[in-house]
Amino acid sequence: MSAVTPASQRQVPTPHPRRWVGLAVLCASVLIVVMDMTVLNVALPAISADLLPTSIELLWMVDVYGLVVAGFLVTASGLSDRFGRRRLLLIGYGVFGAIPLLVLVIDNPAGLIALRALLGVGGALIMPSTMSMIRGLFTDAKERAVALAAWAAMASVGAGLGPIVGGVLLEFFDWHAAFLFNTPVMVIAAIAAILLLPESRGAAVPWDFLSMGLSIVGMASLMYAIKGMGKYGLTDPTTLAALVISAVALGWFVTRSLRRKAPLLDIRLLGRPQLSVGLIYALISSVGMAAMLLLLAQWMQLVKGYTPIETGFFLLPMAIMGGAVAPFTPKLAQWMGIRNLMVTGLLVGGVGFAILYLGGDPLSFGLVVVAEILLGLCAAVFGIGSVIIMSAVPPERTGNAAALEETSYELGNALGVAVLGSIAAAVFRSSLSAEDLAEHGVTGDQAHIAQESLGGALAVAEKLPADTGLIEQIQGAFTGSLGIVGLVGGGLMAVAAVVVWFLTPTDVSVEDVDH
């Protein structure tokens, strides 16, 4: 048996001469794809006024993009390994650039839902390819760590920029502009990719259409079930059906993958501690970001009274901090060690959550900004999670690793909204009891509406004939629910930090990459 060559003695291939400009193209791709996940939120009121969708259709407009992205990630990574990552990236650019043009002829909600679903296919083609190509472009481990950190920074910034870009576009144009914005950006990205990015492939596996179908149905059903639990609870028949379908499809997919010599997704990779640690960090950090963006956006608009654009700007500290610090995390990892840095990132994020609980009611806006900054620091370390995920697999399996990471990110977003959002809703309802509402003259259906959401409660309160103090009580109930979510989120981050501490090898470093 031959000895393993230490990382410091391995011969590093010659770096690609245009790797940094290539990285800029890949980062811009991620920025646009992530922005598209949040840009629609600002346009929903205008879309509702124009197309008159039902409440269910409105939910599908928001949710279908994430469902399709999550469902197609595994299949997209397999196709990119077989046909070429740059080729799949260009196809993704084409989908993301051409499909928005259909908005010019769409005049009904069903058409817009279909458009969002097709955009999800484009997003799934783009995201795994960007990570895999970074592994191919950057042969030096230290440079690759910086590149992956920059990639993660763009993902963080994109989430924060989406609502602002959407708000600015709607100030000057109608809601169609929120979609058409993609087209010129994708044209420029495609030209740059053709000129600057080399082609690369992974380990092509035999065609397995059954596994492709199982992964798409299983992941899309799981995402739907998670979202359904957050909106309708565990007893909703459709949610339960989606959960059963997901369990059957994913269980079959995992069993099939373990039995095949060359599976579409190598499930055995999950047995590598480094990969598992990176996926845990991606999952938990995205849970925190998604829940915080959802709840703080409501708090700022409906409790503090800010406009949507003002809210977008006031949510920026999280994205700015994540984007500004992420490129420096490889240096921090060299100084502190990867395990210490990842644990610190989770604990800092936990403190950010806990601040929302400790702030009480009324909650100071200054404390909210501090919480955003701390959660942004947690998100900044996400790039180091990508580094150890990429280092845990051989180059020919980077497509699999990228698909697993992106899946963790999508699941984290869904769980953050569903689980922490549901906790906030339950606390809000318990703080606004039927007895309390009856004292203000709110009973029956109106009481039910008031207990369902902050927006519904305020709408009911504003119809009352006189100022009864109910609005202040409603806002206080929501602030209290935000605090409880902060306590739960802080505990979740602390538990994740302990898990990461015990799972992460003590000697793993940014140089420890198997070329």
**Full pLDDT tens readout for the chain, 515 residues:** 434 344 444 455 666 677 888 888 888 888 888 787 767 766 777 787 788 887 677 767 877 887 788 888 888 888 887 788 889 899 999 998 999 999 989 888 889 989 988 998 888 888 878 877 887 788 777 788 888 888 877 877 777 777 778 777 877 888 888 888 888 888 988 998 898 888 877 666 677 888 888 988 888 888 888 877 766 777 888 889 989 999 999 899 889 888 888 787 778 878 788 888 888 888 888 888 778 877 887 788 778 888 777 877 888 888 888 888 888 888 888 888 888 999 999 999 999 999 988 887 778 888 889 999 998 888 888 878 777 877 777 777 777 777 788 788 878 877 887 788 778 888 888 887 777 777 777 777 777 777 777 777 777 777 777 666 788 888 888 888 888 988 998 999 999 999 999 888 776 666 554 44
By the 10 Å C-beta count (0-12 exposed, 13-18 middle, 19+ buried), 11 is classed as exposed
Q: CA neighbours within 13 Å on the CB side: how many for 378?
A: 33
**Total Cβ atoms within 10 A of residue 498:** 12
* CA angle at 124 for the pair 395 and 394, rounded to the nearest 5°: 10
Which residue type does 28 have?
A: A
CA dihedral 259, 262, 268, 273 (to 10 degrees): 170
CA distance 492 to 288: 9
- Residue 456: per-residue pLDDT: 76
How far from chain centre, in Å, is Cα 349?
16
- Residue 83: per-residue pLDDT: 81
347, 493 in Cβ contact below 8 A?
Answer: yes
CA distance 363 to 12: 53
Q: Show the tokens assigned to 170.
A: 């709607």
**Total Cβ atoms within 10 A of residue 283:** 21
Closest residue by Cα to residue 436 from 478, 468, 482, 390: 468
How far from chain centre, in Å, is Cα 301?
22
136, 23 in Cβ contact below 8 A?
Answer: no
Tell me how far CA of residue 211 lies from CA of 69, 249, 251, 269, in angstroms: 17, 9, 11, 17
Q: SS3 for 257-308, per residue?
A: HHHCCCCCCCHHHHHCHHHHHHHHHHHHHHHHHHHHHHHHHHHHHHHCCCCH
Closest residue by Cα to residue 215 from 261, 151, 263, 172: 263
- Residue 144: per-residue pLDDT: 80
Q: Show the tokens assigned to 441.
A: 């003259």
Helix residue spans in 433-469 (DSSP H): 434-439, 444-452, 454-462
Tell me how far CA of residue 480 lies from CA of 144, 454, 475, 486, in angstroms: 43, 12, 9, 10
Q: Show the tokens assigned to 359.
A: 């702030």
Helix residue spans in 15-102 (DSSP H): 19-51, 55-83, 85-98
Tell me how far CA of residue 49 lies from CA of 78, 91, 287, in angstroms: 41, 34, 31
- Residue 14: per-residue pLDDT: 67
- List the domains of the chain with CATH numbers: 16-205 (1.20.1250.20), 269-515 (1.20.1250.20)
Closest residue by Cα to residue 218 from 71, 60, 79: 71
φ/ψ of 155, rounded to 5, equals -65, -40
- Residue 466: per-residue pLDDT: 67
Which residue type does 294 have?
A: L
